[in-house]
Structure 1
Amino acid sequence: MQLIDTHAHLDFPRFKKDRVKVIKRAEEDGVKYIINVGADLASSHRSLRLSQEYDHIFATVGIHPHDADQVDGRALKVLKDLAKADKVVAIGEIGLDYYYDNSPRDVQKEAFKRQLELAHKLKLPVVIHSREADEDTLEILKEMEVGELGGVMHCFAGHLEMARECLSLNMYLAFGGVITFKNADKTREVVREIPLDRILIETDSPYLTPHPYRGKRNEPSYVRFVAEKIAELKDKSMEEITRITTANAINAFNLSL
């Protein structure tokens, strides 16, 4: 297998004690490449450093909606400078989160738009976080002409109509451990219905650990359980799922491998 985990946070503190072992274990389990995703300025710096330490790890830089109040002129300049590095392949994760509402919604929207503007300037795809904010997310993606950028709807959990709208905007849909949960029928329906050539796999490590390890810390080696579930839902072989989702990731992030 040559899988690509398209969304991990290996720079987070939960990997501090055994990060090297986690990365090695992923390689041994067939994870050929990992995209480590920035969530604020500090983690964007760490993500870039990690990508520079490992040939098979790429980075994204961006500020999560939880920290939308950090997105000012200075922060955007820092992100712009970080994004000039060869191993940075996207702006993200950015978007809206109305579940926690850690930042006021108007602040989230403005931060989202400003980072999409940055992505346009840099001609980079985007990694989108959208939780309980489908309507506003779609409105902003259309307003900001995200179709010209392309990118990924991270940990997609929307309904089928939302999925089709995102596909029309040149976005890939990424699925993680949630599709193995008992209460994820809606998400599994989306996986069944959308074209395989628009699907990515991810872990969101250290979060959302798939069955049979749910409740434990997630890590990139577990992305194979996501691939296996998609193979089951699509009635395809694991080899075909591996081949197609890897090709999709290469296309989505314009990876130079």
Structure 2
Amino acid sequence: MKIFDSHTHLNDAILYPDAQQYIEHARKLGVVKMAIVGSDAKLNRLAIQLAHQYDNLYAIVGYHPEEANSFDAAAENELIDQLNDPKVVAVGEIGLDYHQNVVKQSVQKRVFKRQIEIAKDAGLPISVHNRDAFEDTYDILKSADVSKTHGILHSFNGDAQWARKFVDLGMLISFSGVASFKKTYEVHAAAEQTPLDKILVETDAPYLAPEPYRGKQNEPGYTLYTVEAIARYRDTTPDVIADATYQNTLRLFGIEAS
């Protein structure tokens, strides 16, 4: 079994000091590749650093909606330069977060739209953060015509209908540990009904640890438990889910099979 964790944060201060240990443990659980995701200038640089340090790691760089205020001209220029790095496979995590409205919604929207344009110019997919902002996220992606560049709704926490709407735009749906939680029934249905060639898996570590580790610190190896949960909902085997999501992720990121 080979699993690709499509969204993790080994560049986070909690995980970074022991990155090699987490990578080795992940491999023992079948997680052989992972995308390290940035969210601001520092974490973007660390994502790229880790991607060059380890062959099986790749970088996703961008500005999280809660960091939108720091996306100035210098940040934009650095981001555009970083997209020329061969180990950078997507722009993210970008999007909208209306949960606490740390940044004005108007600023979040402007920065989200601009980063989509940058990704399109670079020919790279996007990794989208959406929290309490389904309608606006959908409208922006639809207006941007992401069918040509594609992307990911990361750590999807909506229902099957929303999943279908985003898939119809050209997006893939990535399921995190939330899909394994016992009472997230709408997410279970989305994981069951979304076409298999449109599904990815992730941890979002160190956050959102899946069952049976819910409430504890997450790590990339735990992608296995999300794979197992999705397999149960779809009445198939973990091997089938692991292989399909692995191939989907390679295809989206333009990575040659190995």
**TM > 0.5 fold call:** yes
Which TM-score applies when normalising by structure 2?
0.97
What residue is the counterpart of 2:60 in the other structure?
60
Give the deviation of 1:181 after TM superposition: 1.2
Counterparts of 2:211 and 2:241, CA distance in 1? 19
* Count of residue pairs brought into register by the alignment: 257
Q: CA deviation at 1:81?
A: 0.7
Matches within 5 A, 1:180-219: 180-219=180-219
- Conserved 8 A contact 1:151-1:253: no
Partner of 2:137: 137
> Comparing 88-97 with 146-155, which one deviates more in the overlay?
146-155
Amino acid at match of 2:33: Y
- TM-score normalised per structure 1: 0.98
Structure 1 residue ranges (4+ consecutive) displaced by more than 4 angstroms after TM superposition: none
Amino acid paired to 1:244: A
- Shifted more, 118-127 versus 179-188: the winner is 179-188
What is the aligned partner in structure 2 of residue 3 from structure 1? 3
Q: What is the alpha-carbon distance in structure 1 between the residues aligned to residue 112 and residue 243 of structure 2?
A: 33
Mind listing any 5+ residue stretches in structure 1 that lack a counterpart? none
Deviations for 1:110-149, whole angstroms, at most 9, x for unmatched residues? 0000100100110100000011101100110011111111
Deviations 1:29-48 (A, max 9, x none): 21110100111111000000
Instruction: Answer yes or no: is the 8 Å Cα contact 1:197–1:244 preserved in 2.
Output: yes
1:236 — aligned with what? Answer: 236
C-alpha separation in 2, matches of 1:5 and 1:152: 13
RMSD: 1.0
- Cα distance in 1 for partners of 2:84, 2:69 equals 23
- Residues 52-131 of structure 1: pairs in structure 2 closer than 5 A: 52-131=52-131
- How many angstroms apart in 1 are the aligned matches of 2:18 and 2:33? 18
Instruction: Describe the SS at the equivalent of 1:189.
Output: helix
CA distance in 1, matches of 2:173, 2:162: 11
Deviation at 1:18, TM superposition (A): 2.0
Secondary structure of the structure 1 residue equivalent to 2:249: helix
Letter in 2 for 1:4: F
Deviations 1:169-224 (A, max 9, x none): 11110001011112200110111111111110000000000111112110011100
Q: 1:152, 1:252 within 8 Å by CA — same for their partners in 2? A: no
Structure 1 residue 249 displacement after superposition: 0.7
2:120 maps to a residue whose letter is H
How far residue 165 of structure 1 moved from its aligned partner, in angstroms, is 1.2
Structure 2 portions without partners, runs of 5+:
none
Change (3 A) 1:33 1:16: closer
Give a deviation string over 1:203-247, Cα, whole Å, max 9, x none: 000000011111211001110000000110001111111111111
Residues of 1 paired with 2:158 and 2:13: CA distance? 29
Identity %: 39
